[in-house]
Structure 1
Amino acid sequence: MLERPAEMFDRHREWEALTSFATDPSPSGARLGVVSGRRRQGKTFLLRALCQATGGFFFAADEATDRESLTRLGSALADHLDAPAPLTFETWHAAVDALLALGRERRIPVVIDEFPYLVKANPQLPSIIQNALAPLRPERDNSQVSLLLCGSAMSFMGRLLSGNAPLRGRAGLELVVPTLDHLLAAQFWGITDPLTALKVNAVVGGTPAYRREFARDDAPAGPEDFDAWVVRTVLSPTTPLFREARYLLAVEAELHDTGLYHSVLGAIAAGNTHRGGIASYLGRKSGDLAHPLTVLMDCGLVTREPDAFKDNRTTFRIAEPLVTFYHAVMRPIWSDLGQARDATRLWQRSQRRFTGNVMGPHFERIARQWTRHFAGPEFFGDYPSDVTSGTVNDPAARTSHEVDIVTTGLDDDDRPYLMAIGEAKYAEPMGLGHLERLRHIRQLLTAQGRHGAETAKLVCYGAGGFSEQLQEAAQGDPEIVLVGVDDLYRAN
């Protein structure tokens, strides 16, 4: 295993996967790997570091014509080989064979970054690579190149190895570089106060570049500095963060009608998380949303979560916090932000939307992620197998109840059972009323015959604290679990 660069934050899993793939000494011929992930996650940094550590070849593609890209590749290869003159390639067939020839003597990584740019100019390129890596082909069999194709266009990269795509079945590595989770993001930003870390994460998420390049290492000095930090970074037209959410959509070639996709995202950011609500917000029929929602999911900007209790109900959520912040806070005051000398008053006027449409949903999201990936058995008695949200019918009251966090486990017979149901509140302190609501929902689920409902724990996730009465009730009852912000920032 190659030593991880000292300046690299975390990415242990990604570095291990890349170095294992790139240095595997088995004589299996040239091999293919695909690396993807949204922009600003550090993919290029990872792959450049890999090539520097191994003497590999790195080529960063540009938006260019096919001929220009071949010329640039020839120049880059000549520099790598210390050739006296640039190499000339008439076709990509010859260029790919030249790349494979780099590995005649030893295993070596060859990276093509921003691969979608090349395919945009030459759609046959995936098929050319497929043929170059065909078994029993001497150029492939006599090569020890680990070819890595990298790209940020998630819809394109997701299709590269799927279905009947030319490269389907050719890749020995498929690595998605994710955003940092909320715990790692707090460490990366150097924020020790849990509530401040939660608020910063709700604005910029876990994208590493948003601190280093975009905010120039400007992090809130403490809880009292958060509002001023928002004004001088995200809400300032002079910083890259100001327009980043709009540019995230421009990266995806599949998003032709950006106005429609911004409207769909705006509907979700406004709290319309179900297909019917989104359609009503846009003034369209529900069936008209199938394509835009699918495209946004393929791009990694929207996630779809099944309802824990209703098979025909789906919840849509925005995956990138900065996009939610833009649509909930910035978009309604966009023209004012561009003209204001100081955005402080605009930010103060936006507090209701920030609390209700950004912090509330984000706190629920972090609570679900923490429950699924970080909470230990001391909270729920076992490790969860799934965590989502759900809707419970209440026939007697002719209504239904939304459950923010539904935690499911597996019993000894591998049957799903209900471990816990929970409610998450960001702003208001939680009290006995919230607990009684959960008790009522548990009774409904028990009456419906839901496996494990009668013993399911009742969990209150409260960023605003808990009343004395609720704390006293929890002390004497093991079925009641209280989870505060401090708990969410402790990994077990």
Structure 2
Amino acid sequence: MPKPEYVFDREREWAALTRFATAPGDEMRLAVVSGRRRQGKTFLLQALADALGGFYFVAVESTSADALRQFGTAVASYLGVEGTLAFANWDEAITYLLDRCPDRLIVIDEFPYLMKADHVIPSLLQREIDARGANRPARGRTRLILAGSAMSVMGKLLAGQAPLRGRASLELVVHPFDYHVARRFWGISDLRLAIQLNAITGGTPAYRTRFVDGESPAGPDEFDDWVVRRVLSTESPLFREARYLLSNEMEVRDEALYHAALGAIAAGNNTRGGIAGHMERKSTDIAHPLAVLEDCRLIRKEIDPIRKASVYRVAEPLVTFYESIMRPAWSQLERGRAAQVWNGARSRFASQVIGPHFEHICRQFALGVEWAGELPSEVAAGVAPGSGRGQNIEVDVIALGAQDGTHRRRLLSVGEAEWSEVMTLRHLGRLQQARDQLHIRGLDTRDTVLALYSGAGFDRSLTEAAAGDQGILLADLATLYG
């Protein structure tokens, strides 16, 4: 089934949904679709329901009785019943809809709100899926999609002892656009401007449309003015968006505590001990907030592939921008001093926002490169341990081959990323030392590529040294977007 032209990209997601919705079989099937708010999930599911003539219902936060009334109204409208349908309870409502839609697509969006209104709904659906399975008298080929934006709730819908565990035929997460697709979506030709925008808005589609009234900077010279008007202005929908991302998660109770944890990570405190120290808390006190933020997909936990230590990073660029630039100056921003705040925050933007984001983009790039004939199985930042004190080298990009247990693991590439600094032979020498230290640690470094990623360029001596050397990669912005 062709994807509607008005749905940008999302080919993989559309293909997965249409395969599920049109798959043969005479049993009821379930799909679970999740994704943080503003990713176009609802837009995608509405397009699918429209294309197949399916039933689409979006829940809102309300009481069980009110939600049941809204559901009855939506079902009546879909089935062409005059007025509304007054259901006594959710058991009756679900059975009624499934009985009358035995071969149709049913989409229930923002499903966590229904779960909050009545916690028995997943168990009712479990009963119906089991009763309408293959070789059952009450079977039907209904295709049911449950969708939601509360990631901490949706992530547990099929886990552990949850009623719907083992019932889903499809579990799909709608992610933000990657930096390549985001640039096309924004229509930005200047590569440096594209990364600056991506460091603030990430790949969230809605931040390109109604949140900024469809406006993007026409060129690099308009970037500062755009940030002041479209992000830091109290009249902009983006102004409070980072706060709403946290408040919309149902498992978040003490928002100040969670913002403190996000602020600590955004400031460069990436280990549990560093985060706890920044917050002036014990390490054990922040275990639960970190777990919730990870479930919400607002942070991600990465593993240093060399030391096997956990490192936390903020997963949503807008949250990093808020915690680093906006929250420290919130009272000034509310008084309309956006231009002054932005002028005073440029150094923090470079060090805490765009610098780490550029490193993340370089790791994404490295993950898709075939290094000396092999795609990496793991790409992360890490530390090349030295033989004495003070000799550890932090490496922005470590690309490793698959670990087969019989040979030394291949170190495919080590890389350093500099957004605003012209790279020189000094950077190359640092990577050579890191490669040698990782060789001592047991990695196969015979074909390791030394990769230098720069947003500002390379000096002549480095360019000459890299010329014709297959073991050195100079990756500028054109390379990253190539």
In the other structure, the counterpart of 1:304 is 301
Task: Work out whether residues 132 and 140 of structure 2, in 8 Å CA contact, stay in contact via their aligned partners in 1.
Answer: no
Is 2:402 the counterpart of 1:405? no
Match of 1:110 in 2: 106
- TM-score of the two chains, using structure 1 as the length reference: 0.94
Deviations 1:138-181 (A, max 9, x none): 99843221111110000000000011111000111111100000
Percent same amino acid at aligned positions? Answer: 48
SS at match of 2:155: helix
Among 96, 99, 102, the alignment partner of 1:101 is: 99
Match of 2:417?
A: 424
- Decide which of 354, 369, 374 is 2:364's aligned counterpart: 369
Match of 1:119 among 95, 109, 115: 115
Superposition pairs of residues 49-448 of structure 1, within 5 angstroms? 49-104=47-102, 107-135=103-131, 141-311=138-308, 313-340=309-336, 343-373=338-368, 375=369, 377=370, 380-410=372-402, 416-448=409-441
* CA displacement at 1:231 relative to structure 2: 0.8
CA distances 1:5-54 after superposition (whole Å, capped 9, x unpaired): 11110011111111111122322x21111110000011111111111111
Alignment partner of 1:68: what SS?
Answer: helix
| Match status 1:471 vs 2:463 | yes
Cross-structure match for 1:8: 7
> How many residues align structurally?
480
CA distance in 1: counterparts of 2:389 and 2:61, whole angstroms? 59
Q: Give, in angstroms, the shift of residue 382 of structure 1.
A: 2.8
Structure 1 distance, partners of 2:141, 2:151, is 28
Q: In the alignment, is the contact (CA less than 8 A) between 2:408 and 2:442 conserved in 1?
A: no
Q: Could you give the per-residue CA deviations for residues 186-209 of structure 1, whole angstroms, max 9, x where no partner exists?
A: 000000111100000000000000
Structure 2 SS opposite 1:98: helix
Residue type of the partner of 1:468?
A: R
Tell me how far apart the structure 1 counterparts of residues 119 and 28 of structure 2 sit (CA, whole Å).
Answer: 22
Contact 1:134 1:140 in 2 (8 A): no
Measure the CA separation in 1 of the matches of 2:256 and 2:34: 26
For residues 91 and 388 of structure 2, the distance between their equivalents in structure 1, rounded to whole angstroms, comes to 70
Q: What is the DSSP-based 3-state SS (H/G/I as helix, E as strand, rest coil) of the residue aligned with 1:160?
A: coil
**Aligned partner of residue 126 in structure 1, secondary structure:** helix
Q: Is the aligned partner of 1:459 residue 2:451? A: yes
Letter matched to residue 15 of structure 1: W
User: SS in structure 2 opposite 1:410?
Assistant: coil
Deviations 1:91-113 (A, max 9, x none): 11111112212333xx3210111
Q: Is the 8 A contact 1:462 1:485 kept in 2?
A: yes
Equivalent pair of 1:111/1:147 in contact (CA under 8 Å): yes
Q: Of 468, 472, 475, which aligns to 1:483?
A: 475
Q: CA deviation at 1:411?
A: 7.8
Query: Quick check: 1:34–1:175 contact (8 Å CA) kept in 2?
Result: yes
**Segment of structure 1 superposing worse, 398-407 or 243-252:** 398-407
Q: TM-score, normalised by structure 2?
A: 0.96
Query: Could you list the runs of 5+ residues in structure 2 that have no partner in the other structure?
Result: none
| C-alpha separation in 2, matches of 1:268 and 1:467 | 33
Distance 1:445 1:475 in 2: 25
Question: What are the superposed Cα offsets for residues 395-445 of structure 1, whole Å, 9 maximum, x if unpaired?
Answer: 234442111100012389786311111111111111111111111111112
Structure 1 gaps of 5+ residues are none
Q: Is the 8 A contact 1:100 1:144 kept in 2?
A: no
1:236/1:242 contact within 8 Å kept: yes
CA-to-aligned-CA distance 1:29-87 (integer Å, 9 cap, x gap): 21111110000011111111111111100111111111111111111111111112322
Provide Cα deviations, 1:295-336, integer angstroms capped at 9, x if missing partner: 10000000001111012x111000000000001111111111
Checking the alignment, whether the CA contact within 8 Å between 1:421 and 1:458 is kept in structure 2 is yes
Secondary structure in 2 aligned to 1:87? coil
Counterpart Cα distance in 2 of 1:247 and 1:411: 42
Name the CA distance, whole Å, in 2 between partners of 1:217 and 1:227: 17
CA–CA separation in structure 2 for the residues paired with 1:139 and 1:209: 43
**1 CA distance for matches of 2:428 and 2:289?**
39
Tell me the amino acid that sits aligned with residue 458 of structure 2. Answer: F
User: Offset at 1:368?
Assistant: 0.3
